[in-house]
Structure 1
Amino acid sequence: MSRVYIGRLSYRAREKDVEKFFKGYGKILEVDLKNGYGFVEFDDPRDADDAVYDLNGKDLCGERVIVEHTKGPRRDGSYGGGRSKYTMQWCF
């Protein structure tokens, strides 16, 4: 498993927008959205590598996002939560 950080995330971005943005890069285990940033956890680290390489600097919901590997372990053990009421340019 490998987690990817998404920075400069639009407040309009919803979980389904992020899932579609990363679609085609492999099996996603979790999308965890916070205020202005989030995390995507991939089943295979190679898929995370491809997503970071291809998607860093791309437009998601009208914002040029930062996509990079997380720098450390998870801070909590929760799976779930996140925002659910926001929309976009790469928002679906």
Structure 2
Amino acid sequence: MVKIFIGNLAQETEKEELEALFAPYGTVTECAKFKNYAFVHMDDRKAATKAIRELHFHKINGRPINVEPSRGKNQGPMKLHIANVEKGHENELQQLFEEYGTVSECAIVKNFAFVHMPNADEAMDALEALDNTEFQGNVKISQLFRSDYFYFIWICFSNAYTQLLTSIKSEIQIISYIQHKF
């Protein structure tokens, strides 16, 4: 059995939509949908690998989704990304995330923040609890992601750039594009 993480889902995305999306690749044994992410379990590793490769950046309900093998909740530290945070608010942001667990580092670069949490369970709790909440009175935390496998892309770019990213397929193209823009 292979567990697959699906991120950047629109809230209106239904479990049945995900099951139907993955079914052509192989048997879906389980599907659990949360606010903006889900987990799909598939029987066959080759089928799951093909689904991951072909469905990454696929659009559902107008949003390109992130599809990757699940790391599991207890596998090491996680870095969370938060968009539209002004410099100088590191302490407040750290205190906010410390309500859910240990924060090893909190840094703000340009207009986005990185919050490092050594315990993945605590990071997932923060991710679930803080999604669609406000910080600094007017900044809506709407996209918190695990740091592995290019999740930073969704924070670095506005929706206008997100459509462009669906056509960019390699890490080199992505890094080159980011360096050019910033």
Which band: TM-score by shorter chain? 0.7 to 0.9
TM-score calculated relative to the size of structure 1: 0.76
Question: In 1, Cα distance between the equivalents of 2:38 and 2:17?
Answer: 12
Report the count of equivalent residues.
Answer: 75
Instruction: Write the deviation string for residues 35-66 of structure 1: whole angstroms up to 9, x where unpaired.
Output: 10000000111111010000000101211000
Aligned to 1:32: 32
Alignment of 1:46-65 (within 5 A): 46-65=46-65
Which deviates the most, 36-45 or 18-27?
18-27
The letter of the residue matching 1:7 is: G
Superposition TM-score, scaled by structure 2 size: 0.39
Consecutive unaligned residues of structure 1, counting only runs of 5 or more, are 76-92
Q: Structure 1 residue runs of 4+, over 6 Å off? A: none
The structure where helix makes up a greater share of residues is 2
Question: Matches of 2:37 and 2:58 in 1, distance apart?
Answer: 14
Q: Secondary structure at the match of 2:47?
A: helix
SS at the partner of 2:3? Answer: strand
Cα distance between partner residues in 2 of 1:25 and 1:73? 25
**Higher relative contact order structure (alpha carbons within 8 Å, sequence separation ≥ 6):** 1
Q: What is the aligned-residue RMSD (CA, Å)?
A: 1.5
The reply on whether 1:42 has 2:42 as its aligned counterpart is yes
Q: After superposition, where does 1:1-92 map in structure 2 within 5 Å? A: 1-72=1-72
Tell which structure's C-alpha radius of gyration is larger: 2
